[in-house]
Amino acid sequence: QLTPTFYNETCPYVSSIVRGVIAEALQCDPRIGASLIRLHFHDCFVDGCDGSILLNNSDTIESEKEAAPNNNSVRGFGVVDDIKTALESACPGIVSCADILAIAAEESVSLAGGPSWKVLLGRRDGTTANRTGANVALPGPFETLDVLKSKFLDVGLNTTDLVALSGAHTFGRAQCVSFRTRLYNFNGTGNPDPTLNSTYLQTLQGICPENGTGIELTNLDLTTPDAFDSCYFSNLQSNKGLLQSDQELFSTSGADTVDIVNYFSAYQYAFFVSFVEAMIKMGNISRVNRNRRTN
């Protein structure tokens, strides 16, 4: 059972140490907080929050880092190493890597102006990685809302959690490959995605030429790219979601997610409350409860 007081005796300053390293890294990399919360998400969805995403290839391990949703996309491992180094000097052998990712996610959100919360701690690091699991369980930007919902349900997260957690796209960047089909030939129609604002479409076409490399970067939230706020949801209301999976939350006709988007857009505080609740649920995903669900 996880508890916020897990390191009170053994590493009382763990959170401020993690925060300090991230604050330092943010000075030269305003994107790093976004990258860190994404690592926690991609860890927890695959065999629970056990640090599995951090393991490298070896004779016995096929890393998750090279699974399709992660390869050449997730980043921040150097800062995780820096955090680990700082903690090893303050409290050697105490803090698990899975807990480092959970604390780093919370500190990243609060440093970007979002909510802060008491992170539940006491996760154990696993010794195995699951590349196939990562390919199967992690959501993709071209998936339908129904598929996204079911991937979240598989790990015990409901539709409100899906919408709230998608709000993490209020900061960070994406590569053109993650949304370029929307700009030129959407679903083989030969036309752009009709749910994409036409001015924003032109901007994005300028950033992502049809025959470009696809690794060009742009902000997930065009309004406040580095601030953790509810602009992600107001963007969706004006058809300015970057990923197809973002815009679907608002543009899928008749979907129960539309009211939730409108609510989070109108009441940033409600978004923050639901986001915290969903982050705590996500941080509680364990391999055991996943097996129980899928057996």
- Answer yes or no whether residue 109 interacts with ligand HEM by CB under 6 A: no
Cα gap 245→143, rounded to integer Å: 7
CB of 7 or CB of 106, closer to ligand HEM: 106
Among 17, 44, 67, 174, binds ligand HEM (CB under 6 A): 174
Q: Report the interhelical angle of 244-251 vs 159-166 (nearest 10°).
A: 130
CA of 134: how far to CAs of 41, 48, 101, 201, 281, in Å?
11, 11, 17, 31, 19
Chosen from Ca ion, ligand HEM, none, partner binding at 139 (C-beta under 5 to 8 Å by type): ligand HEM
CB of 7 or CB of 107, closer to ligand HEM: 107
Among 41, 117, 228, 232, binds ligand HEM (CB under 6 A): 41
CB of 70 or CB of 224, closer to Ca ion: 224
Does 52 appear as a known binding residue?
Answer: yes
Does 50 appear as a known binding residue?
Answer: yes
Q: Shortest Cβ distance from residue 203 to ligand HEM (Å)?
A: 17
164 touches 157 (CB < 8 A): no
Which residue is listed with tokens 């996880």? 2
Closest by alpha carbon to 9, among 121, 158, 85, 126? 121
171 touches 222 (CB < 8 A): no
- Answer yes or no whether residue 192 interacts with ligand HEM by CB under 6 A: no
- Answer yes or no whether residue 178 interacts with ligand HEM by CB under 6 A: yes
Chosen from Ca ion, ligand HEM, none, partner binding at 73 (C-beta under 5 to 8 Å by type): ligand HEM
Among 133, 139, 241, 283, binds ligand HEM (CB under 6 A): 139
Does 229 appear as a known binding residue?
Answer: yes
Q: Shortest Cβ distance from residue 244 to ligand HEM (Å)?
A: 8
Cα gap 131→93, rounded to integer Å: 27
165 touches 157 (CB < 8 A): yes
Q: Shortest Cβ distance from residue 89 to ligand HEM (Å)?
A: 27
Chosen from ligand HEM, Ca ion, none, partner binding at 164 (C-beta under 5 to 8 Å by type): none
Residue 42 annotated as catalytic: yes
Does 79 appear as a known binding residue?
Answer: no
- Answer yes or no whether residue 65 interacts with ligand HEM by CB under 6 A: no
What does the binding site for Ca ion look like in residue numbers (CB under 5 A)?
43, 46-47, 50, 52, 170, 221, 224, 227, 229, 231
Q: How far apart are the first and last CA of the chain?
A: 22
Cα gap 217→220, rounded to integer Å: 9
Q: Which residue out of 42, 149, 173, 240 is catalytically annotated?
A: 42
The site that binds ligand HEM (CB under 6 A) totals a number of residues, namely 26
- 222-251: which residues touch ligand HEM (CB under 6 A)? 243, 245
CA of 58: how far to CAs of 75, 136, 183, in Å?
20, 21, 40
- Answer yes or no whether residue 73 interacts with ligand HEM by CB under 6 A: yes
> Phi/psi at 48 (nearest 5 deg)?
80, 175
Cα gap 164→93, rounded to integer Å: 34
Residues at the contact surface with ligand HEM, assessed by CB under 6 A:
31, 34-35, 37-38, 41, 73, 75, 139-141, 148, 162, 165-166, 168-169, 171-175, 178, 220, 243, 245
> Which residues have a catalytic role annotated?
42
Residue numbers belonging to the annotated binding site for heme b: 169
